[in-house]
Amino acid sequence: MFSINEDKTDRDYEEFIGTRRIIADFNTITVPKGSIKMLSAKKNEKRLLKINSDKVLAVEYCLVFLSNLVHVRLIDNDDNWKSLSSRVLREQIPGSDGTYKRVIEFLLEPIFPLSPLIEVKLNNRKTETYEVRTNSKQYRLSNLFFNNKFDIYKISHLSYKKRRFELHRNKVIESKNNLIVTNLLTIYPRITIPKENEILVEAIRLVKMKYRNGKGKKLTILNGRKKSDLVNQKRIYLEDNLKLFKYLTENGLKYPSVSGIRSGGRVYDSINMMPKFIRSLIRIDDDKTIDVDFKCLHPNLAVKLYGGTSRYITHEVIKEKLNMELNVVKEEHLSFFNKKIQQMKQSLLYPYYELNEPTMLSNIIFDKNKYNHKITSQKMFNLEVELMTECIKRLNKIGIYALYVFDALVVKCSDQKTVEFTMNQVVSEMGIYTVVG
């Protein structure tokens, strides 16, 4: 650990992070397997020197950029694109002369071999996706990394380590007043993460039960088979889930990250990015855990925010009204309010809201036209965070700490009834018409 000045800010940092060794080292990053060797090749030396006069530092800048994209290849995501704002990249890759831009240019060169390490998303006009204050540019790893394997790399350059320490320290101090984060840091030392053999046993059980995740994808164990050999249907693969689990936990839990305005201040950590069936195996104080979440929360948040008249909307109600499969309704609700206006009108859910919530729908469309199409989700996330923060605040006061999964809390089974009562009480007081269940 670097020596730090003895002022109140630094004492706050030391006190807050303290002995929480369960948190991953901030100088340890996960990078695509083989990328270290590719970047360090002698043939790239001149190109690296354009990034920085110190070759080691130039390589580490490139590796940090790539580390942003690793988890996107591992999560249950169909396109693997990741938005990276210039603000974040300037923090990660310092230099007033646009150093991060030279990193991107280098990684986009087809020289590794005859292929770039990354791709940038293009729109229909074949130009890079970017809208001021709306969309950042999106990137993903190239097909050189199709196997989703990764290496662990520890930053070695002294000046860069100091820079990253300062950023991490500031992040920790800023999050000291975030109740969701402090709650998580309190409960982390009390949890037991499952072993891979436990996950395998659970996966075998779920496969026999024909388990599907929240997006309706069937859990499948490849066991040496190729994905292309299987019948074409929506699937998630145990092998991919284990890679994601390893990424999230191998070197300790990732420090909780508080998102920006666009995500409503949601907090992201190793637990809520974990596949649900693996997360269900986590124990608190060696007790089994259970998810306590609200029924159909986001549609009911939309009612609260946009002047709706419905009370207690559920997926089941819409299923009956539209004569649709329940999993289709649930899947459509995952993205309905985040769609552009034209996409909303093409959604299978649109007829329900057009008939039953015309005023709410009109207000949402007005908001999207006035600002941008993501404003609806932004406002709903913000209200969701306000709701969950109040739930956690009340539970912490009576000695109950919880793992936070956006609109759900993972708690000990023995605390379930108390948590359900508290969450129902909070949501009722806030005038949001839903209940846990």
In a domain, 333, yes or no: yes
Whether 372 and 409 share a structural domain: yes
Whether 72 and 95 share a structural domain: yes
CB 26 within 8 A of CB 168: yes
Whether 121 and 193 share a structural domain: no
3-state secondary structure of 120: strand
CATH of the domain at 422: 3.90.1600
257-279 per-position pLDDT tens digit: 999 888 899 999 999 999 999 99
Whether 191 and 103 share a structural domain: no
Total domains, the chain = 2
In a domain, 315, yes or no: yes
User: Helix %, strand %, coil % for the chain, to 5?
Assistant: 50, 15, 35
Whole-angstrom distance, CA of residue 172 vs CA of residue 398:
25
Whether 268 and 412 share a structural domain: yes
CB 93 within 8 A of CB 64: yes
Spatial CA neighbour of 255 closest among 267, 269, 245: 269
In a domain, 102, yes or no: yes
Q: Which domain holds residue 317?
A: 178-198+251-437
Q: Got the DSSP string for 405-419?
A: ETTEEEEEGGGHHHH
In a domain, 43, yes or no: yes
In a domain, 2, yes or no: no
3-state secondary structure of 44: helix
In a domain, 88, yes or no: yes
Whether 320 and 399 share a structural domain: yes
Whether 120 and 148 share a structural domain: yes
195-217 per-position pLDDT tens digit: 999 999 999 999 999 999 888 88
Structural tokens at position 222: 């490849």
Whether 81 and 187 share a structural domain: no
pLDDT above 50 (res 1): no
pLDDT above 90 (res 358): yes
pLDDT mean over 30-53: 93
Whether 257 and 155 share a structural domain: no
Whole-angstrom distance, CA of residue 309 vs CA of residue 300:
10
pLDDT mean over 274-299: 96
The residue behind tokens 């630094």 is 10
Whether 320 and 410 share a structural domain: yes
